[in-house]
Structure 1
Amino acid sequence: MPDQPRRPRTQNDARSEAEAAFKKVTKKEPEAPPPKKLGLPGVKEQVSLRIDQDVLDHFREGGPGWQDRINDALRKAAGK
């Protein structure tokens, strides 16, 4: 039986072989969740917060310390 000529490789064959080889090498390990940040006691973190204007006015009416009063109200609402 005479040898049959080889079928020429197409670009798609080479691409699929390369992708299969790449996938074998680059399998992702499942990522561990990032470690939980431990906050220092008594240290405040700056955040951006949207508050209704009438609520903000209520706390600002008391003069300086309005941010601390908002913090105290939020702490009380959180049950801490």
Structure 2
Amino acid sequence: MNLQIKLGLLFGSLALLLIVSATLSYVLVRRIDSDVQNLGRVVAPLKESALEMQISIGQGSKSIIQYSIDRDDRHIKRFLETKIDF
């Protein structure tokens, strides 16, 4: 084999390796992008649910404090309603 054939094979191998690595990189970046978008779709409702839970806990605490002040049973009912909403 002469030098020209060896260099041609080397160049062809490098070109093939470049094409394979570029294709693999493209596919992996698309997969990562898809995973990040799916994560965004999950995290937003999760944050909203956590905020609703905090509000519910706050309302329940408020009902317990008001019951301890005036011993009215409607505060217990309100507490039980917020517990059901949880």
Per the TM superposition, whether the score is higher than 0.5 is no
Higher helix share: 2
Greater RCO (CA < 8 Å, at least 6 residues apart): 2
